[in-house]
Amino acid sequence: MLDLATTDNVKSATTDPHRPKDFLDLTEIKSFLEAAKAGRQGTRDHLLFLMMYRHGLRCSEAVDLRIEDVSFDRATLWVRRLKGSNSGMHPIEGDELRAIRRYLATRDDSLPWLFVSERQGRLSRFAVNYLVDRTAKLAGFDNLHPHCLRHSCGYALADKGVDLRTIQEWLGHRSIEMTVRYTRISQRRFSGLWRSG
């Protein structure tokens, strides 16, 4: 029995409104990221969610990111995993690197954290939960939680045909069993099975 897409976490208005799931597909992610730009801190929020999605970050890993974790010269991000997961170096795409520079240009503090609150402190997990919820409503989703962005990363990679071991390393999973869930509902793995050779 599939236990992956059965949690009643996200109801999508843009695809099937009856489909309970715990991740967003590519179209939904685009809507969500676009909606993130609308707030007072739109530059920060868009970047935060983009990085949580692209790097499969847990909420606590995202708020713990420091500016020094970003290497602008090498276009890399040091991802410090929690919960016993494996940390590692991730490449940063050009659009993401530009978004980081754009966001940092709006700041005039000397705080070490990458994401800061309007009160000049590290962004809290509570704040991220609130921002995700607010952005989800703007994008037309119900009951979205920050971990959905991590799951969305795993499903997107599986759907691109990325092999299981690479997804495991990217997400920092110690056990491959944690990663298998993402390939189980990927339709791509079945495409071409009956194509005549």
Task: Note whether 75 and 97 are within 8 A (CB).
Answer: yes
Query: Which residues are annotated as catalytic?
Result: 58, 83, 147, 150, 173, 182
Residue 8 pLDDT greater than 50, yes or no: no
Nearest of 191, 162, 192 to residue 183 by alpha carbon: 162
Distance CA 12, CA 143 (A): 10
H/E stretch holding 14 reads none
What are the pLDDT digits (tens) for 99-108?
Answer: 999 999 999 9
Task: Note whether 52 and 149 are within 8 A (CB).
Answer: yes
Q: For residue 40, count CB atoms less than 10 angstroms from its CB and return exposed for 0-12, middle for 13-18, buried for 19 or more.
A: exposed
Confidence band (pLDDT; 50, 70, 90) for 1?
very low
Between 2-11, 39-48, 112-121, 123-132, the lowest mean confidence (pLDDT) is in 2-11
Distance CA 189, CA 150 (A): 21
What torsion, rounded to 10 degrees, do the Cα atoms 157, 46, 118, 22 define? -50
Can you tell me whether residue 48 is helix, strand or coil? Answer: helix
Query: In terms of residues, how long is the chain?
Result: 197
Distance CA 154, CA 57 (A): 11
Amino acid 188: pLDDT = 62
Task: Note whether 45 and 34 are within 8 A (CB).
Answer: no
